[in-house]
Chains A and B, each alone.
Chain A
Amino acid sequence: MARSWSELLGDAEGPQESADERAGFFGRLRDSLGKSRRALTGELAAATFDPGNAEDWERLEEALIQGDVGVRATAELVRRLEARNELNDLNGALAEEIAEMLGEPATLNLPGTPSVILVVGVNGTGKTTTIGKLAQKLREHGRTVLLGAADTWRAAAEEQLEIWAERAEADFVGAAHGADPAAVAYDSVEAARARGKDVAIVDTAGRLHTQSNLMEELAKVRRVIEGRLEGAPHETLLVVDATTGQNGLQQARLFGETVGVTGVALTKLDGSAKGGIAVAIAYELGLPVKLIGVGEGLDDLRPFDAQDFARALVAG
């Protein structure tokens, strides 16, 4: 059974998601992860995998590499599988090891009123869209939400977020194009406090982790939020596109160093990309995945479930 929003938010109870919806989601993730492509181990013919055959191991390695799991995490997975005494159920064993690598189920840490979520990432990963969907979900689970448009760089980014705010019936704080993003972040936290909102989500401009001046700007946004509200930002989510290759590691590393990322939102999993980079990020940096995006609809943002993800990744 997939993880529910109530579990992700640490709520004792919340709007019940029907078993259908949740099972439907698992099917959907499987569907999307398996859509129009072979399963990760499809070519491998897991049933006939022979641990004594070097070629079979090589094909397993290739399957993982093809899923963007990366060379080092792949080597580690293979090492762990080799250490097992029996491998009658290769897919099962692989899914177990991947889930293990992905770590314990994560929660969104939203203790205060307001709690602040800072959303960061490189250009085009789907930050604004993810925020829109997250706002909607939080509202469904009884939180009042405010969206702050600290992406003052990309043309029309503010308009895009405002449209999402309307859809999710969230408050909105914006600023003119080119305004200081730290000032917008400050205003957002301030407004959320004044209006007694439960959650303020601050959108930031996409930036490549190699642009040191823009990363410095982001560090300032974080400092200003910290300064305005103790303990904030409570969550700093790095949005990673599932089609991203090994550069995702570098993104997680550098954004982590600059703004202290607390979790990953893995988007665009409805494509045929397997999102194996999340495994590499978890293995090498210990960063948990908290959310996944599996489509364009409002309901297509889901809590991350390592078991499901691993099974879908492996079994297709």
Chain B
Amino acid sequence: MFDTLSDKLQHALGDLRGKGRLDDEAISKAMREIRLALLEADVNFQVVKDFVAQVRERATGQDVLKSLTAGQQVVKIVHEELTALMGTGDSRLAFGRPPTVILLAGLQGSGKTTTSAKLALLLRKDGKKPALVAADLQRPAAIDQLEQLGRQIQIPVYRKDTQDPVEVVKYGIQAAQTAGQDVVILDTAGRLHIDEDLMDQLARVRDAAKPTNVLLVLDAMTGQEAVNVAESFFERIAFDGVVLTKLDGDARGGAALSVKAVTGKPIKLVSVGEKLDQLEYFHPDRMASRILGMGDVLTLIEKAEAAVEEDEQALMEARMRAGIFTFDDFLAAQKMLKKMGPLQGVLKMIPGLGNQLKDVDIDERQLARVEAIVLSMTPKERSMPHLIDGSRRKRIAEGSGQTIQDVNKLLSARKQMEKMMKQMGKGKMPTLPGQLTKTGRR
């Protein structure tokens, strides 16, 4: 079994690393896998069709990056397209002349009441003074629930004993404003998008409340229906954005993509846990990875970006083999090392070096000082170190805040290094350069 899309694509496309173009056959195979992956993630089948067509168009005839397999290349394209698709549109909430009214609506059980409280808490952290209005008169004890949540986070909750939610929101907004609250969040009853009466009622609530933001609350586990739900709600209350709930589960959340695709409205917030502070602003790239069902996709994209550097690396290797090691090479090597993480760990991974390094304490700050010295050289000095005479040494020492002795040490270490490389080029094992260690072994 292949768990991730990249595995599947890898299997379908074989190892075409760095070999020319994505041809039609490879692309067709890849598109089939992508289609299945998206369907299993609950992206609406029509949206999948359109999306796959778009990806196919972009992938056709593309060169495969040197360090990537064809499968990885396709995933990279898919991920980028997904991120782009979900990332468009303003994901911020709008704030107008106070009070800013935020209306939450959605199906039963999508999480409106909890989201209302979470949103109030989030906005208070942003410096607002939010209030809640309990306009869900349908579900038994829904008002109690909101009041209890309000008490937990010390946010005022307004209610009114009536059968008409329009009255409740009018009263609630008025009362909150009088009390000096600048944001009013309206919790409404869950309703089916095909229930005409209740959808009419929701439209009336909307008209009466004149909200600055209308948010559709949508369960991340929603299946193919998400499209119908979103379209119906959009038709009646023209929501501005979506709150995606229950993302702390393992649902891929393809509904997010469907809703964005059919209404054009962005996901604004995501709920990632039961605790009241677990409501966050939306990150399209994370969502894209999730829908594709691949924790590994980010690593992969990083690999893709590192591809260019792999070319650089090859170049450096060639220079080293030829026994050339200038300070430019030093800086390039330094840059690569930094990307790989703590030096101690990296060096230990090099076969044969691990044992030698056992008792050697690598001082990363020492490395930073060395870098400062190199950066104080002119480009010409870096590429032709033999130019560096006494007065240049003095200037470099002053420029880098080190002593002339430090500069001298580095210069001789480079010479040694170059000598070592020449040996290595001839197939001899090197000894460890002392410059990298605190103990300064030579």
Cβ contact of B223, chosen from A124, A125, A159, A244, cutoff 8 A: A244
Cβ contact of A248, chosen from B108, B221, B228, cutoff 8 A: B221
- Do residues B248 and A268 form an inter-chain contact, with CB atoms below 8 A? no
The reply on A243 being an interface residue by CB < 8 A is yes
The reply on A155 being an interface residue by CB < 8 A is yes
- Stretch of B18-26, B94-102, B144-152, B207-215 on the interface side: B144-152
- Do residues B45 and A177 form an inter-chain contact, with CB atoms below 8 A? no
Min distance, Cβ B346 to any Cβ of chain A, angstroms: 35
Min distance, Cβ A62 to any Cβ of chain B, angstroms: 5
CA distance A155 to B228 in the complex (A): 30
- Do residues A247 and B145 form an inter-chain contact, with CB atoms below 8 A? no
CA distance A268 to B141 in the complex (A): 20
Q: Given A124-B219, A244-B223, do A160 and B139 touch, yes or no (CB 8 Å)?
A: yes
- Do residues B192 and A159 form an inter-chain contact, with CB atoms below 8 A? no
| A residues in contact with B76, CB < 8 Å | none
Cβ contact of B193, chosen from A67, A250, A272, A277, cutoff 8 A: A272
Q: Interface residues of B, CB < 8 Å — how many?
A: 44
Cβ contact of A271, chosen from B40, B149, B194, cutoff 8 A: B194
Q: Given A124-B219, A271-B225, A272-B225, do A246 and B40 touch, yes or no (CB 8 Å)?
A: yes
| A residues in contact with B224, CB < 8 Å | 65-68, 245, 273
- Do residues A37 and B141 form an inter-chain contact, with CB atoms below 8 A? no
Min distance, Cβ A100 to any Cβ of chain B, angstroms: 22
The reply on A48 being an interface residue by CB < 8 A is no
Cβ contact of A272, chosen from B42, B142, B194, B246, cutoff 8 A: B194
- Stretch of B250-258, B260-268, B430-438 on the interface side: B250-258
- Do residues B250 and A62 form an inter-chain contact, with CB atoms below 8 A? no
| B residues in contact with A209, CB < 8 Å | 249-250
Proximity string of chain A (111-133) to chain B, C-beta cutoff 8 Å, 1 when within and 0 when not: 00000000000111110000000
The reply on B109 being an interface residue by CB < 8 A is yes
- Do residues B252 and A66 form an inter-chain contact, with CB atoms below 8 A? no
The reply on B222 being an interface residue by CB < 8 A is yes
Q: Given A70-B40, A126-B109, A159-B141, do A244 and B249 touch, yes or no (CB 8 Å)?
A: no
The reply on A163 being an interface residue by CB < 8 A is yes
CA distance A209 to B251 in the complex (A): 10
| B residues in contact with A244, CB < 8 Å | 219, 221-223
Proximity string of chain A (172-202) to chain B, C-beta cutoff 8 Å, 1 when within and 0 when not: 0000010000000000000000000000000
Min distance, Cβ B321 to any Cβ of chain A, angstroms: 51
Min distance, Cβ B3 to any Cβ of chain A, angstroms: 13
Interface centre among A67, A156, A164, A209 (most CB of B within 10 A): A156
The reply on A270 being an interface residue by CB < 8 A is yes
Cβ contact of B140, chosen from A70, A155, A159, cutoff 8 A: A159
| A residues in contact with B237, CB < 8 Å | none
- Do residues A163 and B249 form an inter-chain contact, with CB atoms below 8 A? no
Min distance, Cβ B105 to any Cβ of chain A, angstroms: 15
The reply on A305 being an interface residue by CB < 8 A is no
The reply on A36 being an interface residue by CB < 8 A is yes
Q: Given A126-B109, A177-B148, do A246 and B42 touch, yes or no (CB 8 Å)?
A: yes
> Interface on B for A, CB 8 Å cutoff?
36, 39-42, 44-45, 107-111, 139-142, 144-149, 152, 192-194, 219, 221-226, 228-229, 246, 248-252, 254-255, 274
**Could you list 10 examples of A-B contacts with CB < 8 Å?**
A123-B246, A124-B111, A124-B219, A155-B152, A156-B145, A160-B141, A245-B223, A245-B224, A246-B223, A251-B221
11 further contact pairs, Cβ within 8 A, besides A71-B36, A245-B42 = A62-B45, A71-B40, A124-B108, A124-B109, A160-B142, A163-B140, A210-B248, A210-B249, A243-B223, A243-B225, A268-B108
